[in-house]
Amino acid sequence: METKILLLLAYLGIFWTLCFRWPHVALGVSFAISPLVANVTGSNLNISLADLNILMCVPLVLLSSRGARNGPGIGPLTVPVIAYLVISLGASAIASQWESTLTSWLQMALYFVAIPLVYANLVKTRDLSIFPLYAVVGGTLWALVGLATDFNFMESSKNSFGASLAGAGLVNYAMYLVWREKPRHERKKWEGRLIVICGLIMAWALFQTLSRGAWLGAVLGLVFVSIYARSYKMMFRVGAVVLPLGVVGWWLLPANLQTYVFNFDSSAVNIAARYKSLYTAQEYFAKDPLWGSGLGLRKTYDATNVIWSTLAETGILGLIAFTAIFVMFYRWSWILTRKLELTDTRTIIVLMGVGLITSRLGHGMVDHFWSRGVLTMAGASIGLIYVVSRSLQLHPSFLSQRALEHFSRHSLPFSGAPQPSFAGTSTNATFSAPRRRRRTRRNNDSRPARRILGFLPRRPRRVQMPANQPLNGFNGNFVQSTPPTTRVSRPRNRARRGVR
């Protein structure tokens, strides 16, 4: 026992030192090892190594946000997430009949609050581009491990392998889309070849898992990422490459596995288990349609449909709040992709989040949703998307069109701080802030309650905008701006040129 305690203290010291010095490295490694779903606590509270690492970063988030003006947050998802957690507590208080209520609530708070907050507050904009690389490298190694161990490694089943490979494959696809849109003279051929090789390895391993839920999540994620990236032709090209791989893989399977892949008869064992879980959820939902039967119900049966399990646990109110989280997330990501060029490195982060969330939702329709692994990556992607939104200097309330137009006119950086260089612009101008005015009631918003909830944007100071200079993709390089060279116009000599 003393040896374990000493090892744990040594691990905590090393990890916290790494977080203080290089937080993006510590969080990137945790992001890469998310597919390792083995329980490291040895108790009923199932926590993987990646989740434990992220939880150890929570004190750093509290320390870093102690003197901040607005405090930690997760953008426009704050209100629906809080509403869902409060409704879940209310439903559990009314029912109060399950032993795993607290465990289930803490699990939701971990993936919807703790993990996004850690990544949103400890990751800097300049470090965003490294996280897709961690995901692709980790996914490729995980695919090789699965192929070598027949997808049975450290408490990971074929469904767990399939979910992680589907998520990592979608991140790889997002990286290829951004690489493909670069000008030819900026592309590096070896980068494209490595992306294609890693994608083929993960696609082959994903097919070998025979996890139909992971296949469904991968297809839905591929469609959503292509829609958000406006790359429909590439979606069909990827399909034209992956389908022959699937045909060859199916032809190489034994006869019994070929029958298993396309057997959707209700008499099959796995299909019958799905129907049984649906009937169980419908039975508990019918007892109290408004509030449900309380959290923890999903721990008592094989909950293989996230919609019906949410209805059974938290009723109609819980399903509305749960749906609002994803509706707000997709709208948030849609607006960000419209403000970013496809060649921008930050676009990979947004597309990565869309792919991971969609893959998890699609898989959760036919299998367990609240499971370790790819859900950790999905929660981390929410925090990374908030970092992207913050780099664009958008307030969390920018979801309205009026606020979007307002920030597109006024949210440019000021002089006195390192200025980002924008690809495609030749103007090197400084933006000087006007003299600070006295804080009056007119200057401040008279509705502080709505501002705290994040519905109203703060009024930024007005700056001088460059004329006819669109903001293209941000290439991640910070340079100090220099004074602009302006041409002084001289008065026209009317006597020499005449009056027109």
pLDDT (tens place) for every residue of the chain, 500 residues total: 577 778 878 888 888 888 888 888 889 999 998 888 888 776 667 788 888 888 888 888 877 766 555 556 788 899 999 999 999 988 888 876 677 888 889 889 999 999 999 999 888 888 898 999 999 999 999 999 999 998 888 878 888 899 999 999 999 999 999 998 888 888 888 889 999 999 999 999 999 898 888 999 999 999 999 999 988 888 998 888 888 888 888 888 888 887 787 777 777 888 888 888 899 999 999 988 888 888 888 888 888 889 999 999 999 999 999 999 999 999 999 999 988 888 888 999 999 999 999 999 999 998 889 888 889 999 999 999 999 998 887 644 444 444 445 444 444 433 333 444 444 444 444 344 444 444 444 444 444 334 334 444 444 444 444 544 444 444 444 444 444 444 444 455 544 445 44
Yes or no: say if 481 and 415 are a contact pair by the CB < 8 Å rule: yes
Structural domain containing residue 337? 70-391
Q: Tell whether 316 is covered by a domain.
A: yes
Yes or no: say if 53 and 30 are a contact pair by the CB < 8 Å rule: yes
Q: Tell whether 138 is covered by a domain.
A: yes
Q: Give the burial class of 40: count Cβ atoms within 10 A of its Cβ; 0-12 exposed, 13-18 middle, 19 or more buried.
A: middle
Q: Tell whether 9 is covered by a domain.
A: no
Q: Give the burial class of 42: count Cβ atoms within 10 A of its Cβ; 0-12 exposed, 13-18 middle, 19 or more buried.
A: exposed
Which residues is 478 bridged to in the sheet?
420
Q: Measured between alpha carbons, how far is 204 from 301 in angstroms, rounded to an integer?
A: 32
* 408-434 CB burial, b ≥16 within 10 A, e <16: eeebbeeeeeebbebbeeeeebbeeee
Q: Tell whether 53 is covered by a domain.
A: no
DSSP secondary structure code for residue 157 in this structure: -
Q: Measured between alpha carbons, how far is 215 from 460 in angstroms, rounded to an integer?
A: 46
Q: Where are the alpha helices (DSSP H) in 2-77?
A: 2-21, 23-32, 49-55, 58-64
Q: How many domains does the chain have?
A: 1
Q: Tell whether 21 is covered by a domain.
A: no
Q: Tell whether 238 is covered by a domain.
A: yes
Phi, psi (deg, nearest 5) at residue 12: -60, -45
Q: Measured between alpha carbons, how far is 168 from 160 in angstroms, rounded to an integer?
A: 12
Residue 171 confidence (pLDDT): 94
**Integer angstrom CA distances of residue 296 from 81, 312, 488:** 18, 10, 72
Which residues is 479 bridged to in the sheet?
419
Q: Tell whether 166 is covered by a domain.
A: yes
Q: Tell whether 225 is covered by a domain.
A: yes
User: CA torsion angle for 394, 396, 398, 400 (degrees, to 10)?
Assistant: 180
Yes or no: say if 275 and 73 are a contact pair by the CB < 8 Å rule: no
DSSP secondary structure code for residue 153 in this structure: B
